[in-house]
Amino acid sequence: MELKGRVEPGRGPVLGGRPPSGQFRGPGGGRESRGGRSGGRGRGRARGRGGSQQGGDRPGAAVELPVNFKPLEKSENRYIAKALRVGSDTVEDEMQEEVYDRRIRVLLNKITPDNFDEVSDELLAWGGKSAKETDGRILRHLITLVFQKATDEPVWAKMYAQLCHKMICHTSPDVEDRNLRTKEGGYLSGGFLVRKYLLTKCQEDFEHGWKVEIPMDIESSEYYEAIKIKRRGLGLVKFIGELFLFDVLTLRIMHECVKRLLSNVETPEEEETESLAKLLTTVGSKLDVPNARSYMDVYFVRIQTMSTNKHLTSRIRFMLRDLIELRQKNWVTRIEEAGPKTIAEIHEDAERKK
């Protein structure tokens, strides 16, 4: 049985009183808009959300509303705003991740050679918050963001490698990952954990590769995306080389990288060949030592062959010839590599040029 209720849309004017603004009494005593009965442009005419006002809808008319309707049922997978889900552990974790992601990014954008000590200490403090975790989540995220910055900004690769070295030296042993164990059966922690995360990230990104076909249309979005991927690949190689110079990566790992980039001499890929030249330019002087001289000799025999390979562009072939010449000059470059400097170093350079 459906119940019906009576709703009064509004009260009429009190007898003898003034009608509401925008209305006046018509001949029959009812209210009309100032635009007239025929629906002129007067401001008093209005339409309700449910449809247009009809001639029979006058003040005092009954409006029938069902009152036995069922409310909407709440489904289990309905959307709930974050502000209303604070009781959920998952949401609290997401909110915390947003906080430390934002704070770490701000610090990485802020760090320079001049403020390195101060800002790097703040970054280490954020990594140290993983001491309250069992999986090193914050520390892993910090290392991931450092990799992103280093590959996007290869000119700062040396500074980011220095930051990684500092993290290895100063991360508290209280920071541990209970998913990783040492040979003795304990949990991997402290600087050993940082090194493990770094090695894993290097291996994943290096093996993923960065070969990409660059479109001919330089105004297309695909062109800029391809250039970005290639730039990040070269930035990764530069960063790996700087990590080796700071003894974060071992000699064995570097030789594996060089062998991987030299695996195809007959039909070499330009991306891998350019990466090889960048890597050896960065680490060649440290790799070319007496106990590894035989390896380097083999590498450069292959590089000499590649330098005349017509499969490569002239730009890459000349790059390989410059690399051969660099080794012949005992890795002494003619021009000092440009990079970020402290204010004190800039003043020293200015004094030397006077």
Residue 336 CA to chain centroid, in angstroms? 32
Judge whether 167 and 124 are in contact, CB under 8 Å.
yes
Query: Looking at the predicted structure, is the pLDDT value of residue 53 above 50?
Result: no
**Model-level pTM?**
0.69
Strand pairing report for 23-25 and 31-33: antiparallel
The candidate with the shortest Cα–Cα distance to 58, out of 5, 9, 6, is 9
Does the structure show a pLDDT above 90 at 72?
no
Q: How many CB atoms lie within 10 A of CB 238?
A: 23
Q: Cα separation of 34 and 334, whole Å?
A: 89
The Cβ of residue 164 has, within 10 Å, a number of other Cβ atoms equal to: 23
Residue 204 structure tokens: 């994943």
Average pLDDT of span 266-276: 89
Which ranges constitute the DSSP H helices of 189-312? 190-208, 221-245, 251-261, 270-287, 293-306
Tens-digit pLDDT profile for residues 131-173: 999 999 999 999 999 999 999 999 999 999 999 999 999 999 9
Look at phi and psi of residue 176 and say left if phi exceeds 0, alpha if psi is from -120 to 50, else beta.
beta
Side-chain-side CA neighbours of 166 within 13 Å: the count stands at 19
Quick one: pLDDT at residue 135?
A: 92
Pick the closest to residue 272 from 320, 224, 322 (CA basis).
Answer: 320
Rounded Cα distance between 191 and 170, Å, is: 7
d(CA 172, CA 161): 19
User: What whole-number distance in Å separates Cα of residue 205 and Cα of residue 229?
Assistant: 12
Longest Cα–Cα distance in the chain: 114
Of 27 and 252, the structure prediction assigns the larger pLDDT to: 252
Q: Rounded to whole angstroms, what are the CA distances from 46 to 7, 26, 32, 54, 130? A: 19, 17, 11, 11, 62
Distance of CA 311 to the CA centre of its chain: 36
Q: How much is the average pLDDT of 216-229? A: 70
Between 17-21, 99-103, 333-337, the lowest mean confidence (pLDDT) is in: 17-21
Report the DSSP beta bridge partners of residue 23.
33
**Chain center to CA of 116:** 22
Percentage of residues of the chain with pLDDT beyond 90: 50
pLDDT above 50: residue 4: no
Tell me the domain boundaries of the chain: 115-209
Q: What is the pLDDT of residue 237?
A: 92
Cα–Cα distance, 208 to 211 (Å, whole number): 9
pLDDT score for 95? 63
Q: Residue 280: is it exposed, middle or buried by C-beta count within 10 angstroms (0-12/13-18/19+)?
A: buried
Can you tell me the distance from the alpha carbon of 239 to that of 41, in angstroms, rounded to the nearest whole number? 72
Instruction: Using alpha carbons, select from 167, 158, 154 the residue that is nearest to residue 119.
Output: 167
pLDDT at 229 over 80: no
**Which architecture does CATH list for 115-209?**
Alpha Horseshoe (1.25)
Asked if 189 and 173 touch (Cβ cutoff 8 Å), the reply is yes
Position 13 scores a pLDDT of: 46
Per-residue model confidence as pLDDT tens digits over 311-331: 899 999 999 999 999 999 999
